[in-house]
């Protein structure tokens, strides 16, 4: 995979005051997305947009391109 996470996204979201129960309950991120973030797997553009909204950031703040 050429794109990888530069930071622990879930920890950053937690630092902003959200926990995984809130994310699921308020339908901010699905359980499957939360699990993908834990496993450092790719997520959809819609979820990247949601994370940017939650963290008030740009995708480049938490994603980077690394050559294989």
Q: What is the pLDDT along the chain (68 residues), one digit of tens a residue?
A: 589 999 999 999 999 999 999 999 999 999 999 999 999 999 999 999 999 999 999 999 999 999 88
Residue 20 is encoded by which pair of tokens?
Answer: 């995984």
Q: Please tell me the pTM assigned to this model.
A: 0.90
């Amino acid at each position: 995979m050429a794109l990888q996470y530069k930071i622990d996204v879930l920890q950053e979201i937690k630092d902003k005051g959200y926990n995984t129960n809130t994310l699921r309950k308020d339908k901010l991120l699905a359980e499957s997305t939360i699990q993908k973030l834990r496993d450092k797997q790719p997520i959809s553009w819609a979820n990247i947009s949601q994370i940017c909204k939650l963290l008030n950031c740009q995708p480049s703040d938490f994603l980077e391109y690394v050559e294989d």
